[in-house]
Structure 1
Amino acid sequence: MADYCLIGKRLDYSYSKVVHNKLGYDYDLIEVKEEDLASFVLSRRYKGFNVTIPYKKAVMPYLDEISEEAQALGVVNLVMQEGDKLVGYNMDIRGMEYALDRTGVCLKGKKVLILGSGNTSLTAEYLAKERQAGEIIKISRVGENNYENLHLHADASYLINTTPVGTYPANEDCLIDLSLFPALEGVQEVIYNPFKTRLAMQAEARKLPVATGLDMLVGQAIYSEEKFSGKAPNRADADRVVKEILAEERNIVLIGMPSCGKSTVGRALAARLGREFKDSDEEIVKAHGEIPAIFANEGEENFRFYESEVLSDLTKKHRLVIATGGGAVEKQRNLLNMRQNGVIVYLTRDLNRLTDEGRPLSQGGKIQELYLRRAPIYQKAADVTVANEGSIAQTVESIVREVEKL
């Protein structure tokens, strides 16, 4: 048994064990039923434990002392045995601070907009006050400041989303359109599944710095580690852990023209990395039958609907290598879904080596026409571009090298 752990009601989604293990110590995930919370806390089985929903408030009556910050915020996410006492702390505030600092945005004198009115919004408000924000506005579904009068806050400089909107499995949900806020300097999320929410991707499209939920999760871990071991928080360690988790967990999504080698290269790449391979066309065939028959009997529109649904499902997962259909990039929804948990690799190949066999839209000498239409989309969407002109092994190694640079 480890000396430290995370408790919660359901933890199958949690990255906390991975994060703390990467910081150099054993760490358990313990699912606790509501009726067992008191006995777990008072058992003192662990020297210290982090706390997640739904127990951040519920744990407080069983503690002997609560830190000033945790009292101000009304929630505890770390409990430590200190002598004969159980002491509660709040490290979410320090995790949110670390995430903010990664953006480089200064809040002093700025207008900060906070989406949500729950416990996490109190953490965001506390941080904004610490950083001497000029004005802090909290947006809720009801009340003076709500989603119907966002235009009143078009001058906001920084936005923090503390709602669960956009989290797994409802990844495609998004509360607001960032075009309403032309003065924004940065955006902060508390959601870490998916790695990039729709809100975060709107900000990225505007070249705005984004603080992610993964940043916050890892940030609070290094401040918990300080209590566990006495080691001063090392933000370089946190930066390293964020990068390693993204490298290990993000999907690699292959895009490119039909017959450019996405499926063949994808299988070899998955084998090289020890990952599962998924081909979106193969998933469509499993669910709906052969693709030429779908085009012939149901039309391209129905095929594209099936394709989008398959990609929506696949791209919610992690650690996959995904080969996509050549035309998948022509729908913005698909591109956003590919990007939420993935690195997009554009696989190129000489046009003279492409074939139209079994590909309804490429037949009749239309490959060049398709290429001219799609190439700009591929180029814009790609995080990495790799030519598939040599051996499969060479192409795979090129992809691995280029992705590692990100």
Structure 2
Amino acid sequence: MKTEPYREAPYLRRAYVLGHPIAHSLSPALHRAAYAYLGEANLEYDRRDTLPDDLPAIMRGVRNPAGTEEAPYIAGLSVTMPLKTAVIQYCDELSETARVTGAVNTVYPRGEKVLGDNTDVIGIVNALLHAGLKPNHERDEPAVIGGGATAISALTALHKLGYRRASVYARSLHKLGSVQEAADRLGVQLEQVSLADLPQNLAERGHHPVVSTLPAHAADEWASQLSGLKGASATHRPVLLDVAYNPWPSVLASAWEANGGTVVSGLEMLLYQAVEQVLLFTDCTLQPAELLGLINAMCAAVGLPSREHLPAPLAE
């Protein structure tokens, strides 16, 4: 296992998950398990309830080039709502993924620069691969449910998987401007469809894979109307990633499985986006077997089943 910290520090390093509300975040369980596995004994990870007005003071800490015992060096920040766009102005450079999505969920220092990334995208990619998705770009008709920031990450993930067309379902089509702009940047042909049409379209037209970005219970009403998944068979089980994972299984997940599909929860997305954050915060290079060990340590921390292999292939 090769760990390459770019700055030695005799003091305790810190990383945080920022957002509001943040009390129920599972990120500390995932990150702490990862740092224990990696032997990063002086890297501590905590929740920090944060609103946009709190960001200037926090970001000064990220820019502290030396750190002190009173103000430890900040190795990285996991950023959740309502901060994913507000934090961009404090970053010196953005990854291509962050630029395309217009959202940052990962902030970390490199040298004198503060970098911003969006690991939600790779989290979605690897969650779908973990579910057994084998993209068939000629046959598949992917879809995204919802029109917010996570929908843009989902669309970007589908693009990374090789899809160049997708449907997006939302209650308010006039609010899909940012999703359409992201599709245009990616070169993805986007069809905008009313959410009310989804149950019938799933039965008569079919979609695979599908990423639902709706909050918990927001899909309950139409999910209860689901009466079939076109194309579902013993050899083809359409894949649904439901980013909501509490409670689980959701009404949508249960209905999807009952109609012959395969479901994967948003907890898998949370896991895989956190794996990428850990590697960025520690500047750690792992061999495949070591990476699998890291993932399984994180799985154990949140009650996910262990796995025998990486998503094939683990997307980069």
- Considering the TM-score relative to the shorter chain, is it more than 0.5? yes
Distance 1:235 1:122, change over 3 A: farther
State the match for 2:230 in structure 1.
182
* CA radius of gyration, larger in: 1
TM-score normalised to the size of structure 2?
Answer: 0.71
Separation (CA, whole Å) in 2 of partners of 1:246 and 1:235: 16
Q: Deviations over 1:94-116 (max 9, x none)?
A: 11111111111123311011101
State the match for 2:5 in structure 1.
none
Distance 1:181 1:239, change over 3 A: farther
* Aligned with 1:146 (options 194, 200, 203): 194
Q: Deviations over 1:370-406 (max 9, x none)?
A: xxxxxxxxxxxxxxxxxxxxxxxxxxxxxxxxxxxxx
Q: Is the counterpart of residue 231 in structure 1 residue 285 in structure 2?
A: yes
* Aligned with 1:76 (options 104, 112, 116): 104
**Secondary structure class of the residue paired with 1:49:** strand
Q: Deviations over 1:65-85 (max 9, x none)?
A: 111111001100111111111
Separation (CA, whole Å) in 1 of partners of 2:255 and 2:299: 21
On the 8 A contact 1:195/1:213 being kept in 2, the answer is: no
State the match for 1:137 in structure 2.
167
How far residue 134 of structure 1 moved from its aligned partner, in angstroms, is 5.8
* Aligned with 1:161 (options 212, 231, 249): 212
Q: Is the counterpart of residue 36 in structure 1 residue 54 in structure 2?
A: yes
Equivalent position amino acid for 2:214 in 1: T
More helix by share: 1
Aligned runs of 1:187-206 on 2, under 5 Å? 187-206=240-259
Q: Is the counterpart of residue 114 in structure 1 residue 167 in structure 2?
A: no
Separation (CA, whole Å) in 1 of partners of 2:294 and 2:226: 32
Separation (CA, whole Å) in 2 of partners of 1:183 and 1:9: 41
Separation (CA, whole Å) in 2 of partners of 1:183 and 1:239: 33
Q: Deviations over 1:163-195 (max 9, x none)?
A: 11427xxxx935434424323511101112223
Equivalent residues, number = 244
Distance 1:43 1:240, change over 3 A: closer
Separation (CA, whole Å) in 1 of partners of 2:97 and 2:164: 21
Equivalent position amino acid for 1:156 in 2: H
On the 8 A contact 1:9/1:34 being kept in 2, the answer is: no
Distance 1:178 1:187, change over 3 A: farther
TM-score normalised to the size of structure 1?
Answer: 0.56
Separation (CA, whole Å) in 2 of partners of 1:175 and 1:39: 44
- Alignment RMSD (CA, Å): 2.3
How far residue 157 of structure 1 moved from its aligned partner, in angstroms, is 2.2
Separation (CA, whole Å) in 2 of partners of 1:235 and 1:190: 23
Q: Is the counterpart of residue 242 in structure 1 residue 272 in structure 2?
A: no
Gaps of 5+ in 1: 249-406
Gaps of 5+ in 2: 1-11, 37-43, 63-72, 174-191, 233-237, 306-316
Distance 1:207 1:145, change over 3 A: closer
Q: Deviations over 1:205-242 (max 9, x none)?
A: 34532121110111111111111222348245324533
- Percent identical residues: 25
